[in-house]
Amino acid sequence: MPPAHPFDFDAVTDGDKLHEECGVFGVIGPPDAANFVALGLHALQHRGQEAGGIVAHDPEQGFNSARRFGYVRDNFTKASLMETLPGPVAIGHVRYSTAGKKGAAIRDVQPFFGEFSMGGAAIAHNGNITNADELRRELIDRGSIFQSSSDSECIIHLMARSLQRDIPARMEDALRRVEGAFSIVAMTRTKLIGVRDPLGVRPLVLGQLGDFWVLSSETCALDIIGAKFLREIEPGEMVVITADGVESRRPFRPRPPRFCIFEHVYFSRPDSIIGGRSVYETRRQIGVELAREVPVDADLVCPVPDSGTPAAIGYAHESGIPYGMGIIRNQYMGRTFIEPTEQIRNMGVRLKLNVNRALIEGKRVILVDDSVVRGTTSRKIKDMILDAGAAEVHFRIASPPTAWPCFYGVDTPERSKLLAASMSEDEMRDYLGVDSLRFISLDGLYRAVGEAAGRKPDCPQYCDACFSGEYPVEPRDMIAKGFELKAAQ
Amino acid sequence: MPPAHPFDFDAVTDGDKLHEECGVFGVIGPPDAANFVALGLHALQHRGQEAGGIVAHDPEQGFNSARRFGYVRDNFTKASLMETLPGPVAIGHVRYSTAGKKGAAIRDVQPFFGEFSMGGAAIAHNGNITNADELRRELIDRGSIFQSSSDSECIIHLMARSLQRDIPARMEDALRRVEGAFSIVAMTRTKLIGVRDPLGVRPLVLGQLGDFWVLSSETCALDIIGAKFLREIEPGEMVVITADGVESRRPFRPRPPRFCIFEHVYFSRPDSIIGGRSVYETRRQIGVELAREVPVDADLVCPVPDSGTPAAIGYAHESGIPYGMGIIRNQYMGRTFIEPTEQIRNMGVRLKLNVNRALIEGKRVILVDDSVVRGTTSRKIKDMILDAGAAEVHFRIASPPTAWPCFYGVDTPERSKLLAASMSEDEMRDYLGVDSLRFISLDGLYRAVGEAAGRKPDCPQYCDACFSGEYPVEPRDMIAKGFELKAAQ
Amino acid sequence: MPPAHPFDFDAVTDGDKLHEECGVFGVIGPPDAANFVALGLHALQHRGQEAGGIVAHDPEQGFNSARRFGYVRDNFTKASLMETLPGPVAIGHVRYSTAGKKGAAIRDVQPFFGEFSMGGAAIAHNGNITNADELRRELIDRGSIFQSSSDSECIIHLMARSLQRDIPARMEDALRRVEGAFSIVAMTRTKLIGVRDPLGVRPLVLGQLGDFWVLSSETCALDIIGAKFLREIEPGEMVVITADGVESRRPFRPRPPRFCIFEHVYFSRPDSIIGGRSVYETRRQIGVELAREVPVDADLVCPVPDSGTPAAIGYAHESGIPYGMGIIRNQYMGRTFIEPTEQIRNMGVRLKLNVNRALIEGKRVILVDDSVVRGTTSRKIKDMILDAGAAEVHFRIASPPTAWPCFYGVDTPERSKLLAASMSEDEMRDYLGVDSLRFISLDGLYRAVGEAAGRKPDCPQYCDACFSGEYPVEPRDMIAKGFELKAAQ
Amino acid sequence: MPPAHPFDFDAVTDGDKLHEECGVFGVIGPPDAANFVALGLHALQHRGQEAGGIVAHDPEQGFNSARRFGYVRDNFTKASLMETLPGPVAIGHVRYSTAGKKGAAIRDVQPFFGEFSMGGAAIAHNGNITNADELRRELIDRGSIFQSSSDSECIIHLMARSLQRDIPARMEDALRRVEGAFSIVAMTRTKLIGVRDPLGVRPLVLGQLGDFWVLSSETCALDIIGAKFLREIEPGEMVVITADGVESRRPFRPRPPRFCIFEHVYFSRPDSIIGGRSVYETRRQIGVELAREVPVDADLVCPVPDSGTPAAIGYAHESGIPYGMGIIRNQYMGRTFIEPTEQIRNMGVRLKLNVNRALIEGKRVILVDDSVVRGTTSRKIKDMILDAGAAEVHFRIASPPTAWPCFYGVDTPERSKLLAASMSEDEMRDYLGVDSLRFISLDGLYRAVGEAAGRKPDCPQYCDACFSGEYPVEPRDMIAKGFELKAAQ
């Protein structure tokens, strides 16, 4: 069973962050590939904290797998476990999931494994299949037995029913039936396979370590094992890697790519490289843009730790206002106090953050945060800052108002819970009770990620559905459940 | 048994940090005092990560205790455990201990408890008793049975043998026999007691939350429970707190205080207040002093996370050189990979830190760190920075060279392992292989903590033995074991 | 993972017993049906000690399941677990498995669950499918994905592919494809289902507790919950039980029944009723027959605990030789000493059994045991008895020589490991080094179970393949793997 | 913390048995002495199921200890734990404790350890000190700090305060202050020590295994390691065992011995030898005496498993009435179902025992049990037997009425809870609702243990206080708490 109260920022903040739902990693070559996968998943832990899994194949011992709730470092670090995962091919997955979601079960933890007539295969999927409900119904009607509640399991059943003779070909068959966002790392007894959907919504990169090949959601996980970053898997590309090298295929009809712009804003680690750009530098540049677009006279630029830090550094630099750590984070958080007394429960965000009162007192403070989702945390932080004696509080947000849910592998509250879905910027300011609240513009954000001319309205360079409501892939299952698209304008 | 490989910074860095050995916390008043203690200890976790303990007293259920290896948040958060610790008086302790120390055992975890003829008492001790070996021998000769290998257990046995009729008076008796550094939080069935040694080497503060009273190593632990910081317990003061209020006693002969200056540099949390000064602001000011004392022409000021950050902010501000996060810390560290393969073990510091290559490349980088102990970590970080393509690397250290071990409650390597014990600043620079290495001066450090005129050589305002070799209390047990004091000059 | 060294008799005796592989139990009616199933499985623990599982259905919370390695009493006794299994329909399974079998995994633990288009179903299977390999290959070719290495999983996949509109009908479809031995307890959201194969090789009984209905492998598990024993499910019968009562179906072509005679000898609990006969009484009667068929002059009749006890009582009564406990069993066994030193490992059977030296010394001892499989334990026990000073040792065995493996749900060594496969009775006597060794005759055994005229050679009333080599269902998968049937005579 | 509901017979039977409170074992010689101790404690598990502890000494690693709740086989079987207990001298202890006793804590688990000026010592104590409260008060007044609530801890503190120069001499000093029953196994760095109190109330035996020496509560624990039984330690004797052999001392004033007669009836294992007699044979002989003293016409002699079995065999043999297993015990008991629903809780004794209905039905049944304490279990068993259709139920009890509590190391209910304290034999028969109820006479019991002339009233050969109320050592602490001795007659 999952931890009762997973506690990273969300537990004290009522889920007031968007969350990447998965990270994937795979290695072919080293005799103990699973150890490398464990390290890679550790570096990708920010993409999924709830659970992790590894599948490895050894010529003598066949396929072995281990799936666990909790952090990679707490599970996949025990020699007794890692010894059960020998062999030169291994893939892994980390996963996030809403704490309260009914039925969270170890059988939902990837990678998923299937035995076919030509041998076994395992897949790890980052993203979300937008026609999964439909596919699931069809597969069950035809006699497939599902083991999990995960949308990703459809892929392995589609592969099982393909008439193709080899596994990569079955995977192509299967993925052509699938809609939505997918960056997949898969394996057979002898092959490591990577695929990105035609839009390339979620990231996937290729690395090399001596004779070994690596696939990873982000480059920061190449760094941890000392692998060299070669290139991104391209949108719509499938790579099939064996001892003989990397073969590239193009199973899908080409389309203009729509990478997720929120990976730049928040999801990816600042030390990763995306689209040839340092994530840290992009975020710092967002701060610079923010300082230009919505300046304000103040005494201190203070990040909301830790995600607001690079933008705050950029804002301070551009504005000339001193940068300071007005909020200190307790580095020993992780899991919250379980079933505390009422009195202690009310202490809330203090468990994780403390105000640096001596720095804040009497000052006009600019708080730089990455996003506003429900606004609940922003209010608590504002209260702490004012309690500590700040003269003014100005929020500057490193992304446009988040007004639409994501259906491509990000955990978002339903639309009605998003503050920006029903309030204007001024209404939000009043709701939060701050002296000012300003967001970067969508064009400003595009400039910060390197699109000097801003967003092309007729053909946006990124998926920005969470800000714009323009969904590059129709969220078919959600529409069937009653979700209403933005009215055409 | 203790965790096999405790992993905060040390495990990847060969123990290359000094470590505060303990934090103490106590509450009197609330019906579930132990819950408040758990929160306080969580906020003091940086003072001791290996183990923690809580003792509570309830009029009906008497004394109960729980002692556990591991983080406070992983143990003292379970309702099933906390329910066993009812009552309105409780104290707690967190403890650090060198990983490999033989015989680390749960019986060494404080608080210690003793049943006397007038009732029970528990004590939690931060500091170190410099004549503990001598006292222990004497007590064993007279029939005392020790349960732990801890120096602190002497205090409870001395109390047991006192002829005084009440527990605070027995505690005065006992502490007059004790030499060294001690900040103690103790309790009886109805009293919460706090004491600081005459020099006041380690911190201890008094707080108030409505009708409840709180004692804590640092003010940051008052903040977490919403308590008001009233004042520091004074050097040589004992406070005895009951439902009727706080009584102050002076059991010792007065001496000029010698607070530990390293609490300002590294041990205390930046959001704590010490001696009326914000620790964050003091560290930022150290950076300012550093920039004035040992400037260097460069492109980027980069902190070694996380302890170097405030000084780096100060250095950047004073020097005008841009501040940037050139090193990114994996926030999911905690415990290391246990028994990894050789290949993975060599990946070392990458498990915890990653270089932000895009920011570093081609730049002349100033790295600001809090201290240099063995120098092993500094070398690894330098390697990472150069591998990432830095043009120059300049270390600026926020404390003077650490050349002497501490015997007052800080875990220090033996003198021969301290880089500064045998090398000059230039030799250290060559050993580390950096372009320059400069430390703040002892006078500069005194200025940064508010002593505008610097250190008074004949009567230093702080204990700075780790820098100066001038020990305010003779380390008697250590001398008996062969330690040689600095030759008189 | 499974316990490293499961230790009931086998671990000290080199697997020198045949083992029933499963017990099944199901209840419909009570709001906490799973609690009743836990009790029932506890009473059936002798049919499978390695692992257990329960599936329950609640109208609001749907299907829930829990599967665990270890004893029922150690897992399915925790309120925290049982609370996750609410609802008025539940089934369960206990399972035995050879300790060293590669890949023993929690996913092999039954009940198995499948979601069909008309809703979910779970099945628990006692027995063995003799054409499982063939079915599995066929199902994988057609796109089914297997989650376990169990033969029983075929049934749920065959059900998933049936075109029938309701689950009992799909189950009939599936079971008509299946060969071998099966006593199955299954459930849907509203139904409890029981089936026995046409030969009725393994037992299954129907009970009633007030308004509730119960299915169980043995009657002893009805007793534990206070349910009334109604009748056996008949060979070839399927019962479908709902709130409205019990419906009986006959899905298979009728055949003469062949119930497993070894259930009488060893597998079933002595307090169960089989075929209208008390198992205890049958075993006592076997002892009586033994005393008549193969008498010997001696001073003491001593059971090999615990399974030889009833036959020893019968032997003593019939022969007039005193009955005594010459071998004492340590009641605190359960799991063995893991990874002991070599010296201790050699102490072997002493961990579990001790000779009552004072009783044995100087006596001519008749040891009554239920069976001889490999003979390894019999030799050790003989050594112990002789070491204790017995004058003579005579083995009397309550079953005929076990010369053939069972393929119908019993764990047997391969034929070459069975002592009786290659040795005559005299050779076995010499191998064991005892004064005499005699087995009951096959006709004697038939008389003891109530067949006054003995075994009908042309149409045996029971399955006695382990003694006779006459297999009532062709072991097709095993023949494909090279097993040779007894030559026709 | 202890298991919530320890479950051997007591949990279903409301504590309706007397319980030996401890078993002790020690070895000197083998390099892994602790492994031998673990085996010995496993064989003594019937003397204490709640917890166990082992202390070992290794010349290089010094003293190490491990104390655990639960069975020996579940704790002291793990290589990872046993590796922490190296060295050629080791002692161990198993302990029983009433489930609900407040404050059951690991610190109460023996052996106890003390560091003295001449080195450390550990002791394991079977028995009870009748002046422990008094000694404890005196020791606390003089400055000793107790770590446990155990009476046995007094001994180690008395040793710490002795002025003697070596540990055996300090032990003599200490034990001369102690009143009550004690069989002690102790160790220093180089010595194994055994002592029995002057009355020899509890057993202690000496064994030899090659060059190694062994001390054990019972001979059955010598058998498990293959050691030879040499002799009993005599009442009032102390043996000090080193590499050079066994030295015998006599520290106490000689008194006529008073061994506990209940060890013969119930506490000891049937395969142990006490006072030169087989316990099994003694119990069988009790059955013979019972059949002579209180015969009854019936169809079946049936033991209450497992402790009534030998007496039932003797009764059946002497009376000529057939012996049969009318009650079958579930061999997989151990721990009970925790927090079951009300309905299931009421199933009570069925969890552990089941009636062999087919054997019982219509018969006049003699039930042979070892003792009647509260009578609660006897009533339940009678109900089960009658429900199964028995024609008559006759209880025959293998000990006289238990009318007085034991204060010498046996867990007994307070006197008011003992059925025989307030009822005559006829009243008990009516209370239990059986056709007849008869106990063996005290003289009959003495005859069965070999005293042909019965009990000598002026100088009883055994301690039989639980039957007679004649306490050989004044229970001083209990009298201080209000216990009233039997009025002199």
- Chain D CB contacts of C310 below 8 Å: 325
Query: Residue ranges of the domains in chain C?
Result: 9-260, 282-452
Q: Which residue has the tokens 């087919």?
A: D358
Which residue among D117, D142, D143 sits closest to B141, beta carbon to beta carbon?
A: D117
Distance from CA of C290 to the nearest CA of D (A): 18
| Adjacent-strand bridge partners of D456 | none
Any idea how long chain B is?
Answer: 489
Contact yes or no for B357 and A30 at CB 8 A: no
Q: Is D307 annotated as a binding residue?
A: yes
Establish if B74 touches chain A: CB-CB under 8 angstroms.
yes
Whose CA is closest to B188, among B63, B46, B364?
B63
Which residue among C78, C226, C273 sits closest to D338, beta carbon to beta carbon?
A: C78
Establish if C324 touches chain D: CB-CB under 8 angstroms.
yes
C489 CB contacts (<8 Å, ≥6 apart)? none
DSSP for residue D334: S
List the helix and strand counts (H, then E) for chain B.
19, 25
Distance from CA of C233 to the nearest CA of D (A): 21
> Cα–Cα distances in Å, from C453 out to C292, C442, C447?
16, 12, 7
The model's pLDDT over C1-32, given as tens digits with 9 standing for 90+, comes to 233 222 233 334 446 777 778 999 999 999 99
Establish if C145 touches chain A: CB-CB under 8 angstroms.
yes
Alpha carbon distance D448, B395 (integer Å): 89
The DSSP secondary structure of A348-379, one letter per residue, reads GGGGTEEE-HHHHTT-EEEEEES--SSSHHHH
Contact yes or no for D146 and B115 at CB 8 A: yes
- Chain D CB contacts of C278 below 8 Å: 356-359
The per-residue pLDDT string of chain B (489 residues; one tens digit each, 9 = 90 and over) reads 233 222 233 334 446 777 778 999 999 999 999 999 999 999 999 999 889 999 999 999 999 999 998 889 888 988 888 999 999 999 999 998 643 344 557 888 999 999 999 999 999 999 999 999 999 999 999 999 999 989 999 999 999 999 999 999 999 999 999 999 999 999 999 999 999 999 999 999 999 999 999 999 999 999 999 899 999 999 999 999 998 999 999 999 999 999 999 999 999 999 999 999 999 999 999 999 999 999 999 999 999 988 899 999 999 999 999 999 999 988 776 544 445 555 555 666 777 889 999 899 999 999 999 999 999 889 999 999 999 999 999 999 999 999 999 999 998 888 999 999 999 999 999 999 999 999 999 999 999 999 999 999 999 999 999 999 999 999 999 999 999 999 875
Q: Evaluate the omega torsion of the peptide bond into residue D435 and state whether it is cis, within 30 degrees of 0.
A: no
Chain C contact probe: residue of A1, A58, A116, A145 with most C CBs at under 10 A: A145
Contact yes or no for C143 and A156 at CB 8 A: no
Q: Is C220 annotated as a binding residue?
A: no
Residue A410 and residue A465 in contact, taking contact as beta carbons nearer than 8 Å: no
Q: Which residue has the tokens 């955990």?
A: A411
| Confidence category of residue C341, pLDDT binned at 50, 70, 90 | low
CATH code of B282-453, in short, is: 3.40.50.2020
Token pair belonging to B353 = 């830190």
CATH among 3.40.50.2300, 3.90.950.20, 3.60.20.10, 3.40.1180.10 for A9-260: 3.60.20.10
Alpha carbon distance D182, D453 (integer Å): 29
By CA distance, what is B118's nearest residue in D? Answer: D141
Distance from CA of C9 to the nearest CA of D (A): 12
Residue B106 and residue B67 in contact, taking contact as beta carbons nearer than 8 Å: yes
Beta strands in A220-337 (DSSP E): 228-232, 238-242, 245-249, 259-260, 273-274, 277-278, 300-303, 327-329
Token pair belonging to A483 = 């979700």
Alpha carbon distance D293, D288 (integer Å): 9
Are domains A9-260 and A283-453 of this chain identical in fold? no
Chain B contact probe: residue of D68, D83, D140, D145 with most B CBs at under 10 A: D145
Pairing mode of beta strands C364-369, C392-397: parallel
Touch D-B: 3+ C-beta pairs under 8 A? yes
Which residue among D1, D141, D160 sits closest to B144, beta carbon to beta carbon?
A: D160
Distance from CA of C34 to the nearest CA of D (A): 11
CATH 3.40.190.10 fits A283-453, yes or no: no
Contact yes or no for C73 and D359 at CB 8 A: no
Which residue among A226, A278, A338 sits closest to B347, beta carbon to beta carbon?
A: A226
Which residue among B1, B114, B137 sits closest to D145, beta carbon to beta carbon?
A: B114
Contact yes or no for C281 and D359 at CB 8 A: yes
Pairing mode of beta strands B89-95, C277-278: unpaired
The model's pLDDT over C86-131, given as tens digits with 9 standing for 90+, comes to 999 999 999 986 433 445 578 889 999 999 999 999 999 999 999 9
Token pair belonging to A93 = 């997955």
Establish if C333 touches chain D: CB-CB under 8 angstroms.
yes
The model's pTM: 0.88
Q: Taking the CA of residue D347 as centre, how many other CA atoms within 13 Å lie in the half-sphere pointing to its CB? A: 24
Contact yes or no for D220 and C354 at CB 8 A: yes
Contact yes or no for C35 and D344 at CB 8 A: yes
Q: Is D466 annotated as a binding residue?
A: yes
Distance from CA of B115 to the nearest CA of D (A): 6
Touch B-C: 3+ C-beta pairs under 8 A? no
Distance from CA of D375 to the nearest CA of C (A): 22
Alpha carbon distance D275, D277 (integer Å): 5
Residue C75 and residue C86 in contact, taking contact as beta carbons nearer than 8 Å: no
Interface of D with C in 177-216 (CB under 8 A): none
Establish if A368 touches chain B: CB-CB under 8 angstroms.
no
Alpha carbon distance A141, A13 (integer Å): 42
Q: Is C441 annotated as a binding residue?
A: no
Pairing mode of beta strands D436-439, D392-397: parallel
Which residue among A84, A140, A157 sits closest to C145, beta carbon to beta carbon?
A: A157
> Cα–Cα distances in Å, from A242 out to A58, A187, A193, A289, C236?
14, 10, 9, 45, 53
pLDDT at C485 over 70: yes
Residue C422 and residue C282 in contact, taking contact as beta carbons nearer than 8 Å: no
CA dihedral D117, D118, D122, D126 (to 10 degrees): -100
CATH code of C282-452, in short, is: 3.40.50.2020
Handedness of CA B210, B214, B219, B224 (dihedral sign): negative
What would be the CATH architecture of the domain defined by D284-449? 3-Layer(aba) Sandwich (3.40)
Helix (H, G, I), strand (E, B) or coil at C456: coil
Establish if C469 touches chain A: CB-CB under 8 angstroms.
no
Query: Residues in chain A with pLDDT < 70?
Result: 1-15, 97-104, 333-348, 489
Contact yes or no for A145 and C143 at CB 8 A: no
**Torsions phi, psi for A368 (to 5 deg):** -105, 120
Contact yes or no for C160 and A144 at CB 8 A: yes
Touch A-D: 3+ C-beta pairs under 8 A? no
The per-residue pLDDT string of chain D (489 residues; one tens digit each, 9 = 90 and over) reads 233 222 233 334 446 777 778 999 999 999 999 999 999 999 999 999 889 999 999 999 999 999 998 889 888 988 888 999 999 999 999 998 643 344 557 888 999 999 999 999 999 999 999 999 999 999 999 999 999 989 999 999 999 999 999 999 999 999 999 999 999 999 999 999 999 999 999 999 999 999 999 999 999 999 999 899 999 999 999 999 998 999 999 999 999 999 999 999 999 999 999 999 999 999 999 999 999 999 999 999 999 988 899 999 999 999 999 999 999 988 776 544 445 555 555 666 777 889 999 899 999 999 999 999 999 889 999 999 999 999 999 999 999 999 999 999 998 888 999 999 999 999 999 999 999 999 999 999 999 999 999 999 999 999 999 999 999 999 999 999 999 999 875
A358 CB contacts (<8 Å, ≥6 apart)? B273, B277, B278, B280, B281
Establish if A156 touches chain C: CB-CB under 8 angstroms.
yes
Whose CA is closest to B443, among B310, B214, B290, B317?
B290
Contact yes or no for C143 and A141 at CB 8 A: no
Pairing mode of beta strands B89-95, B22-28: antiparallel
